[in-house]
């Protein structure tokens, strides 16, 4: 009798583990798809996102990446500061 309980327990545990692995795999696929579509939209990792804050390399002020001026060395709050920092 105990042997059967053990077999059932192993089967149930195996089923739970299998389901967990499937959910992990599905989750990874979803994340990959999201990253892929983000790349296709030109918003890959490191690209400007609306709520990403960057710091001006010249004066240190924080501003949204979308409003920042991109310089050769990094983001700036204004074209003037980019010029002052990079010449
Ligand atoms: Zn600045």
How long a stretch of residues is the chain?
A: 87
Q: What is the pLDDT of residues 31-67, one digit of tens each?
A: 888 888 888 876 555 555 557 899 999 999 999 999 9
Distance 49 CA to ligand 1 centre (A): 20
Residue 52 Cα, ligand 1 centroid: separation in angstroms? 17
Centroid of ligand 1 to alpha carbon of 66 (angstroms): 15
How far is ligand 1, taken at its centre, from the CA of residue 75, in Å?
9
Which pTM does this prediction carry? 0.42
Residue closest to 54 by CA, chosen among 35, 72, 38, 70: 70
**How many CB atoms are closer than 10 A to CB 77?**
20
**pLDDT tens, position by position, 5-33:** 999 999 999 999 999 999 989 988 888 88
- Which residues neighbour ligand 1 (ion) by CB within 5 Å? 56, 58-59, 77, 81
DSSP string, 24-67: HHHHHHHHHHHHHHHHHTT--TTS--TT-EEE-TTT--EEEGGG
Task: Write out the H or E segment, with its range, that includes residue 6.
Answer: helix 2-40
């Amino acid at each position: 009798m105990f042997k059967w309980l053990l077999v059932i327990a192993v089967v149930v545990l195996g089923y739970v583990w299998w389901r967990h692995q499937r959910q992990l795999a599905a989750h990874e696929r979803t994340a990959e798809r999201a990253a892929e579509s983000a790349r296709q939209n030109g918003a890959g990792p490191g690209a400007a996102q609306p709520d990403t804050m960057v710091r001006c390399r010249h004066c240190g002020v924080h501003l949204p990446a979308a409003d920042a001026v991109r310089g050769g060395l990094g983001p700036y709050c204004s074209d003037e500061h980019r010029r002052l920092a990079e010449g």
